[in-house]
Amino acid sequence: MRPEQTRLDRLSLTWRDPPGLWGFLTTVDHKRIAARYIVTALLLMFLAGMLALDMRWQLSTPENVRMGPQLYNESFSLHGSTMLFLVSVPVMEAMAFWLVPLMLGQRNMAFPRLGAFSYWLYLGGVLTLWISHALDITPDLGWFEYPPLSGPAYAPGHRADIWAQMITFTEVAALAASVNVAATILKMRPPGMTLARMPVFLWAMLVASIMTILSMPAIMLVTSMLIADRLVSTHFFSPAGGGDVLLFQHLFWFFGHPEVYIIFVPATGFVSAIVETFSRRPLFGHSVIVLAILSIGALAFGLWVHHMFAVGLPRLGNNFYTAASMAIALPAGLQIFCWIATIWSGRPWLATPMLWVIGFVTTFVIGGLSGVMTASAALDLQLTDSYFIVAHFHYVLVGGAMFPLFGAFCYWYPKATGRMMSERWGRIAFALIVGGFNLGFFPMHLLGLLGMPRRVYTYPAGMGWERLNQVATLGSVIAVAGGLVFVANALVCYWRGAPSGPDPWGGSTLEWAGEAPAPSWNLAYTPMVDSLTPMWNGAAPLRVADGVAIERREVLITSVTDADPLYRQKSASPSIWPLLSALAVSVMFIASIFTPWAIVVGAVPIGAALTGWFWPQRPRRNRG
Amino acid sequence: MLLCGCSSEAREVGPTVPQTAPIGEQDPRIAYYQDNFGQVAQGGRYFLYYGCAGCHGDGAQGARDLTDGRWKRGGGFAAVFTSIAHGHGDRAYATRIPVEPLWQLTAYARDLQRHMPEKRRRQALDQQAEPRGAAWWGPQ
């Protein structure tokens, strides 16, 4: 039903941000925060992509002198650290920030100010790494910096500290975001959306958030231990002093492997949403996909040692991790069969989001198969640290997570902007990116089998690697050109695109119920849900309920399993305190690279900022 | 401070230009070695390899203690360089050690007083398995 204009005006007044710069700095609107996250991550993806292109240029001929070894080390370290820590994980959280409240028909996240804090802290991590790069203090030891190479004896200066502290930034930001997403999904579902009626996308984001909460502390711990070793000469990673260098690898990969799935699981959420809408039938095997996601979430914590097969761990341990690594192909395969069955039995519509899903399935299956190969400890001993590994993880990360992300971008773009992206240019970008990617990365499998190690800045002529490297460079150039077409399409259509209307694709879930672009308050009424596809209820209008205040910021809290309405909760208003708190934390993090006293002294401004943040606002605060 | 950060972190790997001993205390090449973390750390490694730590390690007394900031033959870069190269009698480091490692050793020796003892010990622990003194046969 169409709400009256007075109600909409009242909602806009209640949920608006202050105008101008102050509004920019204080906003707690989940869509504005998510858009910032996404734009920052895409900009970094472009910069790190340029680094990749530069490295491909360097490797396109033997004995090339475009880069020396130091610049090459810095380039791949910056590329990997940026893509893993500053692009892939944050951009998935950003999609959750943007979509979860819309898909729940809620007005904001559970902790609006925590969302703002998360972004500002993430930005602090971005600036830490890239300003250091501008000052030529680029980390140069790869995206995982193993001691003793990164220890005090072999990594003089502050390059390794910059890397370790950048991780602390992004992990605190990721923890803040994940807690927020998990609480929102569990406690703010609309009436009727029981756990059994929760769309796969929300399941995926819930599982990814819980995985983040469980795995990120390991990496924060390990990078803090590394900084302690370097700054105050502790002995965590010094075998001669009673420490253990393998401890670093175990803790790093205890985070590092789940991280791959923290990136991949949200992508399965995108794919499920797109496949359902564009096959125009409810998802085949909803419960199977959800159970597969849950089992991936559990299995992902039992795989980390397959990154360490060459370390020399006990054979029996290697066998166990080989089995576990192969086992994860089962739930991943189940999901893929469910998506194929949905497409097969539906009426597929091959618009660009759906094309990206097809690109995802084909590319990801190749990456999955090379994953089963490398999961074998015996074979991995031959393949590890070769270009085969480079090919494998680009196939799973780009094919398995970035292609669904691009599809999701095209799918939800009309909801964010109220305009359609060009289908023609979308297809051109798709063909260039998927074609260029496969042309660029498939030869790397062969290069790895021919013995080319990863992380070499050049190679002598006559190894038989020249032609394949040139093909790889050509493919990368084509893929980057496709990326530019994609971005240009998005930018041009932001102003010139055809108006989309609220629901251009005939979507199945609640985010399509409201206006496009989504207003600051999302939906005018609280929706009532009675199926997995609440927007596909024949021609009947969406059932809604009133009762949540419109004259003040308020959200509805429901029970965890049955989504029964419990109470109405005040939702935080715009505030400068998240930014100030993030600034105080940033100062402490940066200063603690140079002196341990920064942690003691730096805690004071953080405490002051948090006190301001949590200062009681309720009317009876002075009377008890 | 920012510019300072740049040069102290600069790291160049690969062949370097031929070197000569520093020409006076105003030699413009001094800052390149003395103010650079990488060069100083490289000097620390040679300090171990060439066996300097045998006499000048932790607990060295008197003139052998390089961490007290007192220098018998002057603490300028050129002075320390000369006393390493030519001040060790028949050890004849000027002929046994190539010129660039001598620059790096000098930078490290002059930097030592700024290093905390626990940090030196921590680095030594990581480098414990490395060849040193008579067991080291030079860059391979």
Encode pLDDT of A566-602 as tens digits.
999 999 999 999 999 999 999 999 999 999 999 999 9
CB count, 10 Å around CB of A234?
18
Residue A537 has pLDDT above 50, yes or no: yes
CA–CA separation, A320 vs A604, rounded Å? 47
Buried/exposed code over A67-95 (b: 16+ C-beta within 10 A; e: otherwise): beebbbbbbbbbbbbbbbbbbbbbbbbbb
CA atoms within 13 A of residue A297's CA, in its CB half-sphere: 21
pLDDT range class, residue A264, cuts 50, 70, 90 = very high
Place of tokens 């695109």: A497
DSSP code of A548? S
- Classified as helix, coil or strand, B91 is helix
- The minimum CA-CA distance between A161 and chain B, rounded to whole Å, is 12
Residue B2 has pLDDT above 50, yes or no: no
Which chain B residue has the Cα nearest residue A162? B9
Does the beta-carbon distance from A157 to B37 stay under 8 Å?
yes
pLDDT given at position B16:
62
- The minimum CA-CA distance between A318 and chain B, rounded to whole Å, is 28
pLDDT given at position B3:
42
pLDDT given at position B18:
55
pTM for the model stands at 0.93
Of A616-620, B65-69, B83-87, least confident by mean pLDDT is A616-620
Residue A54 has pLDDT above 80, yes or no: yes
B8 closest CB neighbour out of A140, A154, A157: A157
pLDDT given at position A227:
95
- Chain A residues with CB-CB distance to B14 below 8 A: 68-70
Tokens of A147: 């001691």
Q: Indicate the average pLDDT of chain A.
A: 95
Does the beta-carbon distance from A238 to B40 stay under 8 Å?
no
Residue A621 has pLDDT above 70, yes or no: no
- Tell me what percent of the residues of chain A surpass a pLDDT of 90: 95
Place of tokens 């190539």: B98
Fill in the amino acid letter for A364: F
Per-residue pLDDT of A165-195, as tens digits, reads 999 999 999 999 999 999 999 999 999 999 9
Which chain B residue has the Cα nearest residue A148? B126
pLDDT given at position A472:
97
Distance of CA B107 to the CA centre of its chain: 5
Per-residue pLDDT of A503-527, as tens digits, reads 999 999 999 999 989 999 999 999 9
Place of tokens 């050793």: B105
pLDDT range class, residue A279, cuts 50, 70, 90 = very high
Among A173, A176, A181, CA closest to A104: A181
pLDDT given at position B116:
84
CA–CA separation, A452 vs A457, rounded Å? 11
Task: Choose from A238, A455, A590, A593 for mutation: most chain B CBs within 10 A.
Answer: A238
CB interface of A with B, residues 234-263, below 8 Å: 234-235, 238, 240-241
List domains and CATH numbers for chain A.
Answer: 30-516 (1.20.210.10)
- The minimum CA-CA distance between B40 and chain A, rounded to whole Å, is 9
Of A23-32, A248-257, B55-64, least confident by mean pLDDT is B55-64
Parallel, antiparallel or unpaired: strands A565-570 and A554-558? antiparallel
**Average pLDDT, stretch A533-557?**
91
Contacts of A433 (CB under 8 A, 6+ apart): A359, A403, A406, A479, A482, A483, A486
- Classified as helix, coil or strand, A419 is strand
Per-residue pLDDT of A4-13, as tens digits, reads 899 999 999 9
Residue A505, burial from CB neighbour count under 10 angstroms (0-12, 13-18, 19+): buried
pLDDT given at position A496:
94
CA–CA separation, A526 vs A588, rounded Å? 42
pLDDT given at position A245:
93
Residue A320 has pLDDT above 50, yes or no: yes
**How big, in percent rounded to 5, are the helix, strand and coil portions of chain A?**
70, 5, 30
| Chain B contact for A380 (CB, 8 A cutoff) | no
pLDDT range class, residue B13, cuts 50, 70, 90 = low
Residue A1 has pLDDT above 80, yes or no: no
H-helix or E-strand spanning residue A526: strand A526-527
- Hey, CA dihedral for A59, A61, A62, A68, is it positive or negative? negative
8 A C-beta contact, residue A512 and residue A415? yes
CA–CA separation, A588 vs A592, rounded Å? 6
What is the gyration radius of the CA atoms in chain B, in angstroms?
15
8 A C-beta contact, residue B129 and residue B48? no
Tokens of A229: 């070793």
pLDDT given at position A159:
94
Peptide bond into A517 cis (omega under 30): yes
**Average pLDDT, stretch A520-538?**
92
8 A C-beta contact, residue A79 and residue A52? yes
Query: Who wins on pLDDT, B3 or A285?
Result: A285
Does the beta-carbon distance from B14 to A69 stay under 8 Å?
yes
**Average pLDDT, stretch B9-34?**
79
pLDDT range class, residue A620, cuts 50, 70, 90 = low
Cα dist from A26 to A216, A217, A238, A571, whole Å: 27, 28, 45, 15
- Classified as helix, coil or strand, A56 is helix
pLDDT given at position B67:
86
pLDDT given at position A391:
97
Residue A404 has pLDDT above 80, yes or no: yes
**Average pLDDT, stretch A277-291?**
96
Among A326, A317, A156, A297, CA closest to A250: A317
Fill in the amino acid letter for A448: G
pLDDT given at position B1:
36
pLDDT given at position A363:
96
Does the beta-carbon distance from A70 to B11 stay under 8 Å?
yes
Per-residue pLDDT of A190-225, as tens digits, reads 999 999 999 999 999 999 999 999 999 999 999 999
pLDDT range class, residue A420, cuts 50, 70, 90 = very high
CA–CA separation, A455 vs A387, rounded Å? 9
- Classified as helix, coil or strand, A499 is strand
pLDDT given at position B139:
64
CA–CA separation, A119 vs A124, rounded Å? 9
CA–CA separation, A342 vs A354, rounded Å? 12
Contacts of A465 (CB under 8 A, 6+ apart): A62, A447, A450, A452, A459
Residue B27 has pLDDT above 90, yes or no: no
8 A C-beta contact, residue A54 and residue A75? yes
DSSP symbols for A407-476: HHHHHHHHHHHSBPPPHHHHHHHHHHHHHHHHHHHHHHHHHHHTTPBTT-S---TTSS-HHHHHHHHHHH
CA–CA separation, A103 vs A513, rounded Å? 9
B14 closest CB neighbour out of A68, A148, A154: A68
DSSP code of A413? H
8 A C-beta contact, residue A441 and residue A448? no
8 A C-beta contact, residue A79 and residue A142? no
DSSP code of A395? I
Interface of B with A (CB under 8 A): 2, 5-6, 8-14, 37-38, 40-41, 116, 118-119, 121-129
Does the beta-carbon distance from A135 to B122 stay under 8 Å?
no
- Hey, CA dihedral for B29, B30, B35, B39, is it positive or negative? positive
Which chain B residue has the Cα nearest residue A240? B125
Please enumerate, as own/partner, the contacts of A563-566 that have beta carbons within 8 Å and a separation of 24 or more.
A563/A189, A563/A190, A563/A191, A563/A192, A563/A193, A563/A194, A563/A529, A564/A191, A565/A191
ipTM given for this complex: 0.87
pLDDT given at position B92:
86
A473: left (phi over 0), alpha (psi -120 to 50) or beta: alpha
8 A C-beta contact, residue A135 and residue A182? no
